[in-house]
Structures are given as C-alpha cells and as structure tokens.
Amino acid sequence: MNVEWREIPYGLYEVSNDAKIRRYMIDDAGKKVYYRPLTPQKSNLGDLSVNIIDHDHKVKKLQLARLVAEAFDLPNPNGYKYIGYIDGDRGNCTLPNLQWVQKKDLRVTTRKAMPVQCVETGEVFRSKYALAQKLGVSITRVRQCMTEGRSLKGYTFVMYENKEMEDK
C-alpha cells in the first residue's frame, strides 16, 4: 500500500491511510516541518485514539479510525455513523480495513473475527460478517441459522477450526 497523507480539520495535523498521525508547523519559508508521529492510546475495548491540540488550543481526544475514514472520504452511501473493522481488529485502523456500519452491526465487526466454513462446499469466510455480506443477508440471520443449525440459502455453516486459514 502506498502511504498517502491528508490534512485533518483539527489544527496542524495529517493522517495517513496506514493509520499514522503527525503534527507539522509552517516554517518561515512556507514549508511544512514535521514532528515525530503521535503515539495512539488504546482504550479498554481496543480502540485507538490520539490527543491533539485544536485551533482553539484545547486538547481533543479523537478516534484514529474515524480520522482516517473522514480524511480519506471512506464511502458511506447509507449514511451510517459508526466505524467497523473488517478484520475485527480495533487496532487495525488502516483505510482498507475500515467501513461504515450501523450500530447493530458495530459489535459484530469489532469483535475478534472467527472464520466460518460452508459444510457443503468447504469455502471459508473470514467472519460471520463477511459471510453475511457475501450472501446479502443480515448478520443476525447468519447468527440465528448457525446457532440453530438451519441452512441459509441452501447451505449450512459452521465455525472453522483450522488455525492456518488463508485470508479470504
């Protein structure tokens, strides 16, 4: 992934698509001079946030994932308010791992992703959420069918046991 930096609207800061944030100043010649990258703090839930000083000289604590999503105009066609992590890792705030989600799907996308396997075909999905997206159904429906052992669109799905799963 090529690293790209974008300014954020909170003071003299830039965020990258690989989830780094740095502060800069403008020197006498009008050039940007960069400070060392900021170190994000991890919350109890695993979310990463950074403390920045805004234009009014007030400290603000901001979620790194939201800064990345907003700076790079992550598509949000449904107008969702929450950021979900495709791989389930809240510490992975890189742009390709972020998506806008509804509140009801937030818990599912931010939990550690557990792979799911189709019994009939052997196909492995990285998570229940990925399976729901592929089938075009809700995550709730996937969970219900797996819990009750019912088929979903003619297929049965179980939790995948192999630790050496290839990333799909």
Domain segments of the chain as ranges: 5-107, 113-159
Which listed CATH number (3.90.1150.10, 3.90.75.20, 2.40.50.140, 2.60.40.1730) goes with 5-107? Answer: 3.90.75.20
> In this predicted model, what pLDDT tens digit does every residue of 54-68 receive, in sequence order?
888 899 999 999 999
Q: What percent of the chain has pLDDT over 70?
A: 92
Q: Does residue 138 contact residue 129 with C-beta atoms inside 8 Å? A: no
User: pLDDT category, 33, cuts 50, 70, 90?
Assistant: very high
